[in-house]
Structure 1
Amino acid sequence: MFDRRSLSVWKFLAAAWGGVLAVMLATRLLFPTSSADVGTSRVMITTLAAAIATGWGLWMAVLAFRRLDEFQQEAGKFAWYWGGAIGLGVSGVGYAFIGLGGLHWLDPAHFHLGKDLFRAFQIGYLLGVGCPFLGFLVARLYWTAAKR
């Protein structure tokens, strides 16, 4: 059975997902054409919507985290730190396999090779690995400055 505290956590998480989906779906309604149609307004408005959705999701996550008791907060931090670190480390294996053409080797008809395709994959992977690392550095610097 849910107690009052855990119910409010789930409400914040539902509000986070609902808000993010609403903002991002609104941009799809505004620009119903295919994603291959790249225009300045489409790129700028969708990027702004992604920033708003990210801010909303983060704010709701902070509110949900504050509603957790100390044990649940520590469990979440442990899981994100170790689970995230292990997941990022293991993703290097997938990066090497895909980057060296492993998907093409598995299914040549659907996965093509090429310098531009690899560059796009490389940038996408580095965003997924680099952003969490930069977030860690900022949080660590904040923690060090705040606890002195």
Structure 2
Amino acid sequence: MSDPKPYRAPGFRSFLAVMGLSLLLGLIMGLGSIFLQDTALGDAGAALVMASVGMIGIIAIVVLWWRRVDEAAREAHKWAWWWGGSPGMAVGGIGVMALINGDWADAWLAGFEPDTLVALGVGFVLIVQILGYTLAWLWWWAVRR
């Protein structure tokens, strides 16, 4: 019976592989959108199809990465997701609710189309959630170093 291989943390080559796969996926999405926009799908359909392809591809890349990363990094990401991403989503949601329910914002928001306002609200919540996640992730590593 052979000895099991010792754990080896993913190195720079693994990082380059993940970044390369991500870049390739972005290229596929961009070119796919260009080629599909003049089809029966139209611009919106092409964007939807390519966004779906992109999300499936990103999930596949993340699964490959997750299988190779060590337990400490996994724990840091899980902790940051719960303690940073969740409060970030709450703060972002409160911000959007305050904006849409504030009389002071009516004049400022009047120049936007409804779909643009939805996209801005979703984008704001995502940015605040990612910021909370990043701060929690940094905190997790800072207290353990």
Q: Which residue of the partner structure matches residue 60 of structure 2? A: 59
Counterpart of 1:112, as a letter, is A
Percent identity among equivalent residues?
A: 19
Q: Secondary structure at the match of 1:5?
A: coil
Selected match of 2:11 from 6, 9, 12:
6
Aligned residue number for residue 3 of structure 2: none
Aligned length: 116
Query: By how many angstroms is 1:82 displaced?
Result: 1.6
Q: Contact (CA 8 Å) 1:19, 1:53: kept in 2 or not? A: no
SS of the residue corresponding to residue 110 of structure 2 reads coil
| Matching residue's letter, 1:59 | A
The one of 118, 121, 124 aligned to 1:121: 118
Equivalent-residue separation in structure 2 for 1:67 and 1:4 (angstroms): 8
Task: Give the deviation of 1:85 after TM superposition.
Answer: 0.4
Are the equivalent residues in 1 in contact too, given 2:36–2:42 (CA < 8 A)?
Answer: no
Residue 24 of structure 1 contacts residue 49 of structure 1 at CA under 8 Å; is this kept in 2? yes
RMSD between superposed Cα atoms in Å: 3.7
Corresponding residue for residue 24 of structure 1: 29
Instruction: Name the residue aligned to 2:109.
Output: 111
TM-score between the two structures when normalised by the length of structure 1: 0.58
Q: Does 1:72 align with 2:73?
A: yes
Structure 2 alignment gaps of length 5 or more: 1-7, 127-145
1:100 aligns with 2:105: no
Distance 1:12 1:57, change over 3 A: farther
Segments of 5+ residues of structure 1 without an aligned counterpart are: 34-38, 130-148
Give the AA of the match of 1:93: I
Q: In 1, are the aligned partners of 2:21 and 2:61 still within 8 Å (CA)?
A: yes
